[in-house]
Structure formats: C-alpha cells, structure tokens
Chains A and B, each alone.
Chain A
C-alpha cells in the first residue's frame, strides 16, 4: 500500500519574521528555510506506519521552485522511498496545490495522503481538506493518533471540544497535528543515502492542472505592537493596579 506525503519548504520556524517596509510581503531572501514542521510530523508518521508494515512505499511530494529539492532530500532522509517534485515558480495557493496532489494521488494509486495540518507560512489550513473533497474521499484532519487496519484507519483528532475519534475507509487524507509524534533526528548515513534516491520532476501541466489566479495579496503589514507595560514588585501592587483599571 502506497502512501503519499506532501511536504512544503517554508521559512524556518525559528526565524523572526520581517515584513518588508514597502508592504509587499515578508523577507524570504537569505533567510533559513526548512521543511514545514507539521509536514515533518506527517513524514515521521508515514515512516512509523511503514516500520509497522501498514504501508509498503512512501512517496514524498513537493510543489514549488528548484529549492524544493532540498525539502524532498530531507523527506528521503526521513525514509521516503522516492520523491516527486511538481516544479513551478509561481505562487501556489491551496486550491492549486490540492488539485496537483489529488492528481498525484490518483496517478500513484496511493491509499493515503499524509500531510501537515497547515504550513507555518500562509497558515491557510486548507490543502488536505481540499484534496479529500476533490477526490470525494474521507478526511481526518488534526490527527493526534493514527491506526491503520487493512482498508480502514482510525484517527483521533484534536478538536476544540477535546479528542474526537473517526473511522475512515481508505483511500483517505490525514493531516497531522503537533502531538501525533516527535520526528526523529536525522542521522548522517540517512542523509547520505537520501542523495541517491530518485526524484521525478513533473510540471503542473503534466498533472492536468493549470495555475489559476487566486487570492490577490494587496498589502502585508506587521501586527500592531503592544505598548510596553509596567513591572510591579508585590502582589498588593498588582491587585491594586488591576482594581484601579476596573479589571478585578
């Protein structure tokens, strides 16, 4: 049983984001990039499912420019068997990404797509659900536990009210939340081995997808800053200050 894992190259989560002064976007040139942390969790889960014998082949997929290859090499070092690079230099929005991933899933006859619940750049949280919708298959988003048994998966989901359990028929799309697992530390031999694994390059057109205009970003601004507060020395001082503002 094949699993597809979609991975996205994003600005590293440790980078302090700078908004360009002309409001045209955030600074990404010369800034450290890495695999979207939620996609790392999805990748780790795929590897664990393969180790348990639930999946036989893991195919990592990314969409984007030439540098996406670095992210695919990371996925291969995690344990993906091969990779597909859907190469395009344009701005890929979730609906377009979902159409490409849906096409890739069909082409590979994959039984499960694992991906992060959101990318930490656009924070859209859409692509997984859209792939499932386009293919009319099941979705289990925000997963904190995944069990595969034959042609079914039981997924525990992190929802606002607590933990929800769904049972889904495969094929299905599963998006990973934070507590699904802790991704492994990549070892040098695995990184070396990843360099020899195959990456197939295709275009959006090869998958029958056209890059349609989506949302147009007209401005990017930093969030309003909070003014510096006051430090108090004692509990009495704090209680008095809050009472004076009518807060307690």
Chain B
C-alpha cells in the first residue's frame, strides 16, 4: 500500500489552498496520506492541514530556519522525512513545489514526475507537455516517487477532518549558502487567482495600467479575481504575479473572462481547464474566440462598464 507524504506550502501562518488539491491527487493514488509542515512555528498551519479530508497524520518540523520557503534549506529535511517508508512525496505544483521538488528528487536519486494532471495508478500518471498541447501518460520506475501536482486538474477536498498532529525532529545539516532577503507581494483584497471561482483577465488592448480600472471595477462587481495576459504584464500594466498562462498561473475557474486578449497559445495553456470561457475582443478573428464558450465582438471600454452597470 502507498504511503504518501505531502509537503505543505504556506505563508504568513496560513496553509496554501493548493495543498488541499494535492490531497485530492493523493486520494487518487490511495493509501496513508500524511502532510508535513516545515515552518518556524507550524502549529497554525498544521491545525488547518489536519482538517483536510483523507489525511491520516500531520507531521510538523519546527525550526527558525524554516521561516521562509528556501528550497536548499527545506530539501535536506524533506529527504530525511521521506526515508520513513514513504512511497510518494507530493508537492503542490506552484512555484514553491516546482522550485523544491527536483532538489528533493535529485538527493533521493530518483526521476521526478512534474505536473500530475490525472492518476491512473500508484505509478502511472498523465502530465502535460508542449504547453499542454500533448498529454503524456508516464510510468514511474520502481522506488520512491517524487512529483508535483497540477493544481488546476484537481478539486479541493473537504475540511471536516481532525487528523493527529505529531512533532518530528530531523537531523539534517542545513546549508548557509542561500539567504532569503525579501518578498515583494501585491496586497490584494480580491479573491486569489488560483482558487477564485470567477476570474477576469485583461490583455494588451487595455493599453495602460490606469485603463485596467475597467477590469477591476467589473471584477469587483462579480467578486472575481483579476489576471492578465503575458503582453499586459510585459507592458508593465500589472505586476507579474497576475500573469495567467503557460509560464504564469494555470487556473481553472468556473467562469473566465478574457478581455482584450487575443488568445496566444501561451495564454490558452493557462485557462484550458476553465469551465466557461467568455471572450470580449474587438477583433472578430482573434484566436480566443476559437476556445470561448461565449464570444462578444466589441470595444472593451464600452462593453465592460455596460456589464458592470447591468449586474
């Protein structure tokens, strides 16, 4: 039977929503599911993790060195934890997991499965390649399986559990060659892009950061998160953490509005799993209309305020 260790992503004492989706992937594999919380003070995060349905145990590793998510510091501790008979070590597939998982896999001398989007068995998984244009089914070789989970492919589990929380001590030598300096985060009252049920994204056609106001106004009216195309980010209209697409965030909202976005392959790779896609663009030939469930050809500066006023 599988014994699965999930590494918790967290910040400012809160569990990242991706962990719950990673548990969903683990349930697909089946077996004992444990979550490891490595933090300076893991109690709050561990309590949240213990509520996730399907989790048998939460393991905490308290260490001031774990105050910030530095891969080189976390990896040796995870390697020690993994040696306790685990068959799988799973990471939520955001930048945290992508940075950290290969560092663990290499130390364990195993190949890694990146971006699991479907589970066939304990050793067979689907993963996207070529920006999601080819889905490959891979069979992992014998040995411990280190993998990241593509969050847009899984639905969060319930939070009605009360798993046991155990403190662990690991004897790993932690390196001093990497020092965390700071994080410049955008403070936003809006729903988080990766877990929002509704998302409105703006593209190059917005023309300036001031003009993005029409997107924000509409998003606030319907309680949506706000994203952007790579073109809008590269043009400096909005910060990088709002980028949706192959190299930005991959999202799966119930309702997605692509506003003034032409629909480059790189952007489509980030929204393929959206339930309903609405495209608003003045160019009737824009490729975004090929994938949209509803399309409206028009000037976004007229359409969006009208939508906002009519809802």
Contacts and interface: CB of A to CB of B under 8 A. Distances in A.
A66 interface: no
A245 B276 contact: yes
Q: Of residues A160, A218, A239, which shows the largest number of chain B Cβ atoms within 10 Å of its Cβ?
A: A160
B66 interface: no
B14 to A, nearest CB: 12
Contact of A229 (B95, B103, B241, B294): B294
Interface residues of B, number: 84
Interface in A212-233: 213-223, 226, 228-233
B183 interface: yes
A192 interface: no
A125 B311 contact: no
B102 A94 contact: yes
Given A167-B181, A232-B296, A242-B294, A220 B135 contact: yes
B136 interface: yes
Contacts of A230: 293-295
B247 A98 contact: no
A168 B176 CA distance: 9
Nearest to A159: B95
Q: Of residues B72, B175, B296, which shows the largest number of chain A Cβ atoms within 10 Å of its Cβ?
A: B72
Interface string B294-311: 111110000100110011
Interface residues of A, number: 80
A219 B241 contact: no
Contacts of B111: 93-95, 214-215
A214 B111 CA distance: 6
B13 interface: no
B196 interface: no
Nearest to B113: A215
Nearest to B68: A164
Interface in B151-194: 175-186, 194
A179 B134 contact: no
A244 to B, nearest CB: 11
Given A161-B11, A247-B276, A216 B134 contact: no
Nearest to B103: A133
Contacts of A172: 177
A122 B137 contact: no
B125 to A, nearest CB: 9
Contacts of A138: 72, 175, 177-178
A163 B180 CA distance: 12
Given A95-B110, A136-B175, A166-B178, A142 B99 contact: yes
Q: Of residues B103, B176, B249, which shows the largest number of chain A Cβ atoms within 10 Å of its Cβ?
A: B103
Contacts of A94: 102, 111-112
B105 A160 contact: no
A165 B115 CA distance: 25
A166 B185 contact: no
Nearest to B18: A160
Nearest to B130: A17
A27 to B, nearest CB: 10
Contacts of A167: 178-179, 181
B114 A125 contact: yes
Contacts of A126: 101-102, 105, 112, 114
Contacts of A229: 277, 289, 291-295
Given A130-B103, A159-B95, A235-B296, A166 B179 contact: yes
Interface string A144-155: 100000000010
A116 B190 CA distance: 32
A92 B72 CA distance: 25
A166 B181 contact: yes
Interface in B243-264: 246-247, 249, 254-255
A166 B184 CA distance: 12
Given A172-B177, A218-B138, A229-B291, 20 more contacts: A123-B130, A125-B98, A129-B71, A132-B103, A133-B102, A139-B71, A139-B178, A160-B194, A161-B183, A162-B240, A162-B241, A163-B184, A165-B181, A167-B179, A168-B178, A179-B240, A214-B111, A215-B140, A241-B294, A242-B294
Nearest first, the 3 A-B pairs at minimum CB distance are A129-B102, A133-B106, A130-B106
21 contacts: A19-B133, A121-B130, A123-B128, A123-B129, A126-B114, A128-B102, A133-B104, A133-B107, A136-B175, A144-B240, A154-B181, A160-B96, A169-B178, A215-B139, A216-B138, A217-B136, A221-B135, A221-B137, A226-B291, A231-B294, A235-B307
Interface of A: 11, 16-17, 19, 25-26, 93-95, 98, 117, 120-134, 136-142, 144, 154, 157-169, 172, 177-179, 213-223, 226, 228-236, 238-239, 241-242, 245, 247-248
Interface of B: 11, 70-72, 75, 94-96, 98-107, 109-115, 124, 128-141, 175-186, 194, 222, 230, 233-234, 239-241, 246-247, 249, 254-255, 272, 276-278, 289-298, 303, 306-307, 310-311
